[in-house]
Amino acid sequence: MDSDATRTARDSLELAFQMSNILDMGLDRHTLSVLIALCDLGLNPEALAVVVKELRKEPSQSSNIPADAPARS
C-alpha cells in the first residue's frame, strides 16, 4: 500500500474510532479495524452488529476455567 493510501486508511480508522467512542460502543481500534475489513469483504454490517451484541452477552469462557486447569492446545 502506498503512503497516501496508508495515511487515508489510518485517518479513516481514527475517525471511525472517534465515532465509536462518541456512541459509547466499547470497541477498541483493533476490533473496529477487523469489523471494517469484514465489511470491505462484503459481509453485512447489520449481521456483524448482531454477532458483536451476541458475543458481548456470552460470559467469558476463560472466567469459567479454574486457575489450576491445564492449558488447552
Q: The pTM is what?
A: 0.70
Q: Is the dihedral of CA 23, 35, 42, 16 positive or negative?
A: positive
pLDDT of residue 44 exceeding 70, the answer is yes
In a domain, 63, yes or no: no
How does pLDDT run across 6-24, given as a tens digit for each residue?
A: 999 999 999 999 999 999 9
| pLDDT, greater one: 52 or 64 | 52
> What's the Cα-to-Cα distance from 44 to each of 32, 36, 62, rounded to whole Å?
15, 11, 29
Q: Provide the residue range defining the domain that includes 13.
A: 3-47
In a domain, 62, yes or no: no
How does pLDDT run across 19-42, given as a tens digit for each residue?
A: 999 999 999 999 999 999 999 999
Cα–Cα distance between 50 and 72 in angstroms, integer? 29
* Number of structural domains in the chain: 1
In a domain, 15, yes or no: yes
